DNA sequence: CGCTTTATTGACCCGAATCAAGTAGAGTGG
DNA sequence: CCACTCTACTTGATTCGGGTCAATAAAGCG
């Protein structure tokens, strides 16, 4: 399988062979993480960042009241906490939603890279900016879409993102996320999330049982979820 | 008045005189923007970014259904669309909430700067990462805080951010944002926003009439808003 | 000083949380 | 291999938060 971070970046800009090999070398320190384990802890001060190579992870934020909000889902190829390099202290955590493989990169190495390979540095910058765009989209989804539309929007987003790195094809993909987590992703109760899921299924645009998601009618699904892929920043462009 | 972007960056890392003068020169192309005018349009492909030097602006996202969501408020010193440099097409717009002064910077100039002044480049990267942290906080606020807490959280955030650049002192500041905009910031109806505002006022932690915000009890306000300033990334650290 | 925009209030109703069970799988150990 | 347990999912009943509609008051502003 090709390196998912390289696949991700090449989709958006061209990489020289030198740059590709820098990335390969940079991601050799791999580690396996068990399902539901924290990968980065809220409140910590990390000295390295990591790239997700396999599995599903999500960012979670614990509030003082004990409530939890999940602000992003990550798939192979995503940097999980590159933000952490430029922030002092983690305002949120990252947790494995399935068994995962990550590659750790010390911050110093990334800073050096931004000096020696500025173009690659800008591409890493771009990954954080694209990530921010996903978070902005999450604000609109949480704040303004009716619950079944939230689920539809998420299915559309993940289908496109997973397709990019070869994890989705023929209108279907695997998504190891429980309804409990989905509820915390949209600010809903689990009961209501479950009912919204049933409403969405009843449209016949999609089937979503357990971790198997199959899209039957893309057009209808994007209409329900008011989905506009602009924010995924899928267009190639020199940066 | 000192340059707000320089103030903002110096708060988080030290700047050389050379870097300061690069920033000064970079922001000389200033423009005045009238209240409620779009500064950057959703769907456009900008070739320059801008820094807000005076006034209040916000990011807004228009959904297909016609609903609007505001995902961030910007004050003097904030880059308004540095993201736009690394994204192909704007997934959201930026609009002036008051009369504003902005400084335009062509993208080419920022890219050049990332090659000639990598440290400054990383600080600009940091501004986008801090901005992303604000957006993540917004997800939690919108998704999990009760309405009066949303307002309290926002008052805490803006008091600290405005203090940084000298726009707030003695527990009070001016905030030219209508209740209509506040409602779109939290995904509420204007009616309910108004009622939540009254509930918050009734706690006596704050008074908030029109654009004048006065904080009477910081501790109480942060408790109501479950406010944790970590995400504001206020700690100095070499980057 | 009229006119438009913003803030406020009341009545009504629906959507979503909460509480409380119950069901179905997936592992686990005897 | 089956009972046991744990977790995830599903359902029903009830309560309450928040939206919508409609009208009025109060500011700004030209």
As to burial, measured by CB atoms within 10 angstroms (0-12 exposed, 13-18 middle, 19+ buried), residue B238 is exposed
Mean pLDDT, rounded, for B80-106: 96
Q: How many CB pairs under 8 A join A and B?
A: 159
Q: Please tell me whether residues B171 and B225 are part of one structural domain.
A: yes
Instruction: Report the distance separating Cα A14 and Cα A116, nearest Å.
Output: 18
Could you tell me if residue A200 is inside a domain? Answer: yes
Could you tell me if residue B129 is inside a domain? Answer: yes
Mean pLDDT, rounded, for A37-65: 96
Q: Please tell me whether residues B162 and B64 are part of one structural domain.
A: no
CATH (domain of B10): 2.60.120.10
Buried b (16+ CB within 10 A) or exposed e, A132-163: bbbbbbbbbbbbbbebbbbbbbbbbbbbebbe
Give how far B136 is from chain A: nearest CA, Å. 6
Q: Residues A148, B132, B173, CA angle at the centre, nearest 5°?
A: 105
pLDDT tens for B13-66 read 999 999 999 999 999 999 999 999 999 999 999 999 999 999 999 999 999 999
pLDDT tens for B208-229 read 999 999 999 999 999 999 999 9
Mean pLDDT, rounded, for A128-145: 98
Q: Please tell me whether residues B160 and B49 are part of one structural domain.
A: no
Could you tell me if residue B29 is inside a domain? Answer: yes
Residues in B closer than 8 angstroms to A190, CB to CB, are: none
Q: Please tell me whether residues B85 and B120 are part of one structural domain.
A: yes
Parent domain of B185 = 144-232
Nearest CA in chain B to A229: B91
pLDDT score recorded for residue A2 = 78
Q: Residues B66, B67, B69, CA angle at the centre, nearest 5°?
A: 135
Taking CB atoms and an 8 Å limit, are B121 and A126 in contact across chains? no
Q: Please tell me whether residues A105 and A155 are part of one structural domain.
A: no
**Is residue A13 scored above 90 in pLDDT?**
yes
Could you tell me if residue B88 is inside a domain? Answer: yes
Give distance CA B188 / C1' D19 (Å): 9
Give distance CA A102 / C1' C30 (Å): 38
Quote the mean pLDDT of chain B: 96
Q: Please tell me whether residues A114 and A155 are part of one structural domain.
A: no
Give distance CA B116 / C1' D27 (Å): 52
Quote the mean pLDDT of chain A: 96
Residue B171 CB partners (closer than 8 Å, separation 6+): B159, B214, B215, B216, B218
Please give the structure tokens belonging to residue B81.
């669309």
Nearest CA in chain B to A59: B136
Taking CB atoms and an 8 Å limit, are B144 and A226 in contact across chains? no
Give how far A104 is from chain B: nearest CA, Å. 19
pLDDT score recorded for residue B239 = 84
Could you tell me if residue A137 is inside a domain? Answer: no
Instruction: Report the distance separating Cα A45 and Cα A214, nearest Å.
Output: 40
Residues in A closer than 8 angstroms to B156, CB to CB, are: none
Residue A229 CB partners (closer than 8 Å, separation 6+): A156, A157, A160
Could you tell me if residue B238 is inside a domain? Answer: no
The structural domain count of chain A equals 2
As to burial, measured by CB atoms within 10 angstroms (0-12 exposed, 13-18 middle, 19+ buried), residue B148 is buried
Beta strands in A134-215 (DSSP E): 172-174, 206-209, 212-215
Please give the structure tokens belonging to residue B136.
């993540």
Which of B124, B139, B154 finishes a domain?
A: B139
pLDDT tens for A192-228 read 999 999 999 999 999 999 999 999 999 999 999 999 9
Q: Please tell me whether residues A152 and A220 are part of one structural domain.
A: yes
Nearest CA in chain A to B132: A132
Q: Please tell me whether residues A44 and A112 are part of one structural domain.
A: yes
Give distance CA A74 / C1' D6 (Å): 27
Q: Report the half-sphere exposure of B166 (CA within 13 A, side-chain side).
A: 11
Taking CB atoms and an 8 Å limit, are A63 and B121 in contact across chains? no
Candidates A69, A118, A129; nearest CB to B144: A69
Give distance CA B84 / C1' C21 (Å): 52
Residues 151-210 of A with CB under 7 A from strand D: 178-180, 190-191, 194-195, 197-198, 209-210
Taking CB atoms and an 8 Å limit, are B91 and A239 in contact across chains? no
Which of A101, A118, A135 finishes a domain?
A: A118
Which chain D nucleotides are covered by protein, judged by CB under 7 A? 7-13, 17-22, 27-28
Please give the structure tokens belonging to residue B19.
């870097």
CATH (domain of A171): 1.10.10.10
Give distance CA A209 / C1' D6 (Å): 20
pLDDT score recorded for residue A239 = 84
Which chain C nucleotides are covered by protein, judged by CB under 7 A? 5-11, 15-20
Candidates A59, A64, A136; nearest CB to B92: A136
pLDDT score recorded for residue B1 = 62
Q: Please tell me whether residues A107 and A169 are part of one structural domain.
A: no
Candidates B89, B133, B186; nearest CB to A91: B133
pLDDT score recorded for residue A146 = 98
pLDDT bucket at B6, cuts 50 / 70 / 90: very high
* Sheet containing B206-209, strands listed edge to edge, beginning at the edge strand earlier in sequence: B172-174, B212-215, B206-209
Which of B43, B64, B35, B81 lies closest to B181 in space, CA to CA? B35
Could you tell me if residue B77 is inside a domain? Answer: yes
Q: Please tell me whether residues B171 and B92 are part of one structural domain.
A: no
Q: Residues A235, A238, B5, CA angle at the centre, nearest 5°?
A: 100
Residues in B closer than 8 angstroms to A68, CB to CB, are: 144
Q: Please tell me whether residues B181 and B204 are part of one structural domain.
A: yes
Which of B95, B111, B139 finishes a domain?
A: B139
Give how far A111 is from chain B: nearest CA, Å. 8
Q: Please tell me whether residues B135 and B148 are part of one structural domain.
A: no
Could you tell me if residue B209 is inside a domain? Answer: yes
pLDDT score recorded for residue A1 = 63
Residues in A closer than 8 angstroms to B187, CB to CB, are: 142-144
């Amino acid at each position: 399988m090709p390196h998912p971070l390289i696949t991700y970046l090449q989709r958006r800009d061209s990489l020289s062979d030198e740059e590709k090999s820098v990335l390969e070398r940079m991601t050799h320190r791999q580690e396996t993480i068990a399902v539901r384990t924290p990968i980065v802890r809220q409140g910590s001060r990390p000295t390295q960042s990591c790239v997700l190579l396999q599995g599903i992870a999500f960012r979670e934020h614990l509030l003082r009241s004990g409530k939890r909000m999940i602000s992003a889902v990550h798939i192979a190829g995503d940097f999980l906490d590159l933000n952490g390099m430029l922030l002092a202290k983690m305002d949120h955590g990252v947790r494995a939603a399935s068994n995962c493989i990550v590659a750790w990169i010390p911050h110093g190495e990334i800073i050096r890279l931004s000096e020696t390979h500025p173009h690659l540095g800008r591409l890493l910058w771009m990954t954080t900016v694209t990530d921010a765009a996903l978070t902005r989209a999450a604000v609109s989804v949480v704040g303004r879409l009716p619950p079944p539309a939230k689920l539809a929007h998420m299915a559309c987003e993940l289908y496109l993102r997973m397709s990019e790195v070869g994890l989705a094809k023929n209108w279907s993909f695997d998504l190891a996320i429980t309804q409990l987590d989905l509820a915390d992703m949209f600010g809903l109760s689990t009961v209501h999330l479950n009912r919204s899921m049933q409403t969405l299924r009843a449209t016949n645009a999609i089937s979503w049982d357990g971790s198997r998601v199959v899209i039957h009618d893309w057009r209808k699904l994007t209409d329900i979820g008011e989905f506009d892929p602009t924010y995924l920043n899928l267009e190639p462009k020199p940066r």
